[in-house]
């Protein structure tokens, strides 16, 4: 199994492997191009579609935007990601249709070893993040590795999501906790 395959398979992998690093360099170049664009620029669509293959034409990400690979991000129709999002997509990041992310949201799939001696090595494990359909993440939300947020849930601004959030909930805080159920 290659290091890249290990990365996508929830196994520890070597993040300074040449194939992994080339994928990161590719994404860095495309993200750098996006930094000087707006949604209305003629080149925006071709750059974002090269960075994130399969992004629906009805979905958009407001630059500036940062990601590790781009091809680990899967979006449904009508997704809107506001300014300055960071998506570290060593693990897959899936965002359901009609979901909105406020400015400065971070979706972070990598996790380093807990043992300090193991952390000295260039290794990490990436756990996927799944955000359901019709969700809303307020400004500055951080979603940690391995988290699933259910359909139609709202995460309050500035919250840090470290555990799964069920569907139809309002969750806030650090760590984010469900404060009430939402009407369907």
Q: Which of 66, 69, 71, 112 is catalytic?
A: 112
**Residue 173: partners with Cβ closer than 8 Å, 6 or more residues away:** 156, 159, 160, 179
- 163 has catalytic annotation: no
3-state helix, strand, coil in the chain (%, to 5): 20, 30, 50
- Strand segments, DSSP code E, in 64-126 are 65-67, 73-75, 80-81, 85-88, 93-95, 100-101, 106-108, 110-111, 123-126
**Which residue in this structure is represented by tokens 């300074």?**
16
d(CA 74, CA 176): 24
| Token pair of 75 as six digits | 């979006």
Which residues form the catalytic set? 112
């Amino acid at each position: 199994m290659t290091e890249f395959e290990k990365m996508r398979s929830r196994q520890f992998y070597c993040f300074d492997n040449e194939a992994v690093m080339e994928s990161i360099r590719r994404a860095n170049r495309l993200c750098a191009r996006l930094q000087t664009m707006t949604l209305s620029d003629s080149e925006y669509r071709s750059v974002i579609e090269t960075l994130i293959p399969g992004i629906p034409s009805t979905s958009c990400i407001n630059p500036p935007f940062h990601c590790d690979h781009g091809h680990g991000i899967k979006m449904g129709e009508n997704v809107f990601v506001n300014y300055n999002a960071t998506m570290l997509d060593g693990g897959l990041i899936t965002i359901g249709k009609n979901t909105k992310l406020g400015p400065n949201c971070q979706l972070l799939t990598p996790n380093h070893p807990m043992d300090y001696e193991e952390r000295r090595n260039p290794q990490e494990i990436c756990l996927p993040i799944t955000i359901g359909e019709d969700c809303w993440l307020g400004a500055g939300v951080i979603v940690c590795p391995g988290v699933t947020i259910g359909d139609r849930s709202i995460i309050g601004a500035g919250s840090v999501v470290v555990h799964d959030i069920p569907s139809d909930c309002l969750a806030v805080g650090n760590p984010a906790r469900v404060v009430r159920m939402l009407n369907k």
